[in-house]
Structure 1
């Protein structure tokens, strides 16, 4: 399946901003601010060099599993040990950063650290409306989005958080519609 992964990001970000615009329609300052952000975001997406199509390959299955592990472990630390979402994600992200050190000769292991950290962002989901099942589903979707966006938005900050946001939003939307 070939898809332009940047369009997934554009749709997610603009949908989020659109909802924010809708909710703040009476506040002209916020509306103007969000409109400016939308324009700047669109400009940078268009300039990001998204002309390469990428093919989804199942070679990234381990990245999906490590994304799930990062999400579940972060969520676990919040629930079991009452850690804040930021501290739990930081601990899991730090632990994930050492994965490439297990065997420096394997390039494969270098791909797993970002997956763990992306999962940690998913695991920051509020326990108010989430569960382990929700985190697993959202981390799975985020893992797929991470694989799809391999060669997209390189050098742009916020990619892992955007991917995690996409996983949480898509699963939340699907569950809401069911």
Structure 2
């Protein structure tokens, strides 16, 4: 009982500090998002139409592989990500965003609802293309918005799952940390880019973990790794070092565990989890740098970049 209580206190403290960083960085990002952009830079109609189409196709193909062919959401999105990165590289990012929409549960969205979600996510992608760039999980957040709005429009209730126990939670933390770090390393150190890196790691998790840990536990662990790979998609303009992905993976695991009862079944929830994790970490980095400068522990000219 004492151990469980102590663990709850530690987890609560970690999440409270994360919320502080998340709030700070969210406000700061919106302040600078459009400061240097002109209207001409924001809108490019032919390209934007292709972007929306890519999101839509990524969603429908992933849903087809996941539901109709029965391969599951993790493997389906991983396959679409790999093929998009190899075959249609200029539009791999929006296609992978669509793949997250296609991870939606058939209990939440049927085919018409899924297609509506794909269109909504495509429009949101275009509207938000100059905001929060370089943060892993942005694509999933866009997908989540599309899936949730589509569910609201169609009247489909969001799903709920119980909070996993720490017997699985410990493995979830370990695998999430590994997934986030490995994705960042493949993307940045080996120059393979975020889409291919995330898709490869998620696909491997979807294939291997259910066979190693059983179908039920393995599926949850694969979902966790998939979310962590989205955190690992972050750019070096936000995180220069891979060690920040250790914290990102930890946060992904905790958020996945404690948000299990809420807003389930919507594609993009895993990306939203990663998005919140990395924004919170980035906010804490900036807060820490400013406190160090105020205390004279950091050179005033050695500032954390604003973008």
TM-score by length of 1: 0.70
Q: Which residue of 1 aligns with 2:273?
A: 163
Q: Distance in 2 between matches of 1:19 and 1:136?
A: 23
Match of 1:58 among 166, 186, 191: 166
Q: Which residue of 2 aligns with 1:141?
A: 251
Q: Distance in 1 between matches of 2:234 and 2:269?
A: 17
Q: Which residue of 1 aligns with 2:263?
A: 153
- The reply to whether residue 177 of structure 1 matches residue 287 of structure 2 is yes
Q: Distance in 1 between matches of 2:161 and 2:216?
A: 23
* Structure 2 contact 210–222 (Cα < 8 Å) conserved: no
* Structure 2 contact 161–260 (Cα < 8 Å) conserved: no
* Structure 1 contact 142–168 (Cα < 8 Å) conserved: no
Q: Distance in 1 between matches of 2:173 and 2:32?
A: 34
> CA 1:105–1:112 in 2, change beyond 3 Å: closer, same or farther?
closer
Gaps of 5+ in 1: none
Say what the alpha-carbon RMSD is for the aligned residues.
4.1
Q: Which residue of 1 aligns with 2:133?
A: none
Q: Distance in 1 between matches of 2:237 and 2:172?
A: 27
Q: Distance in 2 between matches of 1:106 and 1:134?
A: 31
- Return the offset for 1:107: 2.3
Q: Which residue of 1 aligns with 2:236?
A: 127
Gaps of 5+ in 2: 1-7, 13-17, 44-126, 129-144, 289-307
SS in 2 for 1:98: helix
- Choose 1 or 2 for highest CA Rg: 2
* Structure 1 contact 92–117 (Cα < 8 Å) conserved: yes
Q: Distance in 2 between matches of 1:104 and 1:170?
A: 31
> CA 1:102–1:17 in 2, change beyond 3 Å: closer, same or farther?
same
